[in-house]
Chain A
Amino acid sequence: MIKTIAEINEKIGRGQAVVVTAEEVIGLVAKKGVERAAREVDVVTTGTFGPMCSSGAYFNLGHSKPRIKVGGGRAYLNDVPVYTGIAAVDVFLGATAIPDDDPRNRIHPGPFNYGGGHVIEELVAGKDVRLVVSAYGTDCYPRKRLETWINIKDLNEAVLFNVRNAYQNYNVAVNLSDKTIYTYMGVLKPKLGNANYCSAGQLSPLLNDPYYKTIGIGTRIFIGGGMGYVAWHGTQHNPDVLRSDDGVPRRGAGTLAVIGDLKQMNPRWLVGTSMLGYGSTLTVGIGVPIPILSEEILRYTAVKDEDIFAAIVDYSGSYPQMSPDVVGEVSYGELKSGRISVKGKEVPTASLSSYPRAVEIANMLKDWIIKGEFLLTEPVAPLPGVKEGITFKPLKERPIEE
């Protein structure tokens, strides 16, 4: 049984496509078997909703009268600094940027109440945002100061561009030390007080396409409540990690760089987020459709939490020290039971990724496809795969001698 994306799109156009979520397909395969399920199902939808720090947006602000060269100057949106090292009125706002006067971790743990992620959420919500610019002034761009309210609807372009999202699997964070630590994986209580994980598991996009057989550059996706595209492989994309027999990575592996029109998005799916003692970030909703082109692809989408394993990592020791040690391995089935066993101790678990919201995304995407509002795209190039020469390198420090 081989289907093409063009054939699936035809069925979507006729309103006849069979679409199920990556959660629903598990039961379907258990009931009907792979062969029959693969014949019946055209698309499996995935979803994930978690904090994703390598997110941001670029804007074209429009030219003021007289003109001002924001490029090379300093600019702030609601006191959060934006990157100005591009042309006159293009700026980039990163999710983890924080105001210059944020107290940071001066009193540890700092709260990090407001940052770039929150500005993105407010812009998407249609709220006015304060733009403050200081520039050096040129003959063709004479103005040196600008303070004004801006609104997303008045910007020429507002584009979400996230260089690393949708991690294919992730560490489970624990703390083996004897004091509480405050990490990007949440508050970790001492002596294995809790174990925090961050993946939608069986619903997560890349865990349903472990070898990137359908998801590639140009794949149309759900992003932030609107439609967007896979732009590239994400930074730190690392296919050559330990994998289970079914191909599913047991460590953080592939990632996606994604892009989409911020003006079409919705603040329910882009939420400004604060990690106590760590920083501010953006929680992002992503959903990727997987066309069922073959039985093999369907079999991958039927993966369930019990069969997906992640590494337990000590964030008080091996993580900050870049040591490769893992404390153990655990399945998402065990993690979602609320308690896991680590070093003979029963440890309560918490998730940073919202499973109910991931289900909602997979269902929204399913509805869009069933209604014919969302057609699948043929990737224009594949993501780098296993044994294609990609490595995830540490920084090699070389002393600078004067």
Chain B
Amino acid sequence: MAISKRVVLHFPSRSVDQPIIYRLVRDYNLVLNILKASVTPKEEGIMVLELSGARADYDKGIRYLQEAGVRIQSLGQDIMRNDARCTHCGACVVICPTGALALDPKTRMVDFYEDKCTACELCVLPCPPRAMEVYF
């Protein structure tokens, strides 16, 4: 069974000099799409990935990452909308590149589809009431 998931990887500072992502591709046969990466020597690195492959390979790959000391977080919870601040103006819908923020044509409210969000953060600053919040 094939699987595709978006995850946030937190690399401890000691692992930044190891080719972890390379091994993930070669040894576990996973396809990956890097959505965001911030990796600096001697600091904790963060990488947002879309990982796809066979379920068994995916599980083994995740186990490998955990053994290598990488902390894994699923993406859905990383960009959140503060519903108390959102005014449903709709300024974000032309900014979001994946359609995760979209206008419901009937209610004219902005819907946030967390499963489509790639945590690119493009919406955060253009939101006039600053309702989109980042939690890494």
Q: Residues on A close to B: CB < 8 A?
A: 49-51, 109, 111, 113, 186-187, 189, 193-194, 196, 271-276, 283, 336-338, 348-357
The one of B88, B93, B128 in contact with A51, judged by C-beta atoms closer than 8 angstroms, is B128
Q: Tell me, in angstroms, the Cα distance from A189 to B95 when the chains sit together.
A: 9
Does B129 reach chain A (CB closer than 8 Å)?
yes
User: Contact at A348–B93, with CB atoms within 8 Å?
Assistant: yes
A276 to chain B: which residues have CB within 8 Å?
125-126
Known: A272-B129, A350-B91. 4 other contacts (CB 8 A): A348-B94, A354-B87, A354-B89, A356-B88
Residues of A within 8 A of B116 (CB): none
Q: Is the CB of B94 within 8 A of A357?
A: no
Residues of the B chain whose Cβ atoms lie less than 8 Å from the Cβ of A111: 125
CB nearest to A114 among chain B residues: B130
Residues of B within 8 A of A186 (CB): 91, 126, 128
Partner of A351 from the list B90, B95, B107, B126 (CB cut-off 8 Å) is: B90
User: Are A338 and B105 neighbours in the complex by a CB distance under 8 Å?
Assistant: yes
| Minimum CB distance partner of A267 in chain B | B84
Query: Which of B91, B93, B108, B126: most chain A CB closer than 10 A?
Result: B91
Q: Roughly how many angstroms separate A194 CA and B87 CA in the complex, as a whole number?
A: 20
**Bound-complex Cα distance A109 to B95 (A):** 15
Task: Enumerate chain B residues within 8 angstroms of A349, measured Cβ to Cβ.
Answer: 94
**Residues of A with C-beta under 8 A to B32:** none
B92 at the interface (CB under 8 A from A): yes
Q: A50, A51, A186 — which one has the most chain B CB atoms within 10 A of its CB?
A: A186
Nearest CB in chain B to that of A198: its residue? B89
Are B128 and A356 in contact, CB atoms less than 8 angstroms apart?
A: no
By a CB distance below 8 angstroms, the chain B residues around A354 are 87-90
From known contacts A111-B125, A187-B126, A338-B103, infer whether A351 and B109 are also in contact, taking CB-CB under 8 Å: no
Contacting residues, chain B, for A348 (C-beta < 8 A)? 93-94
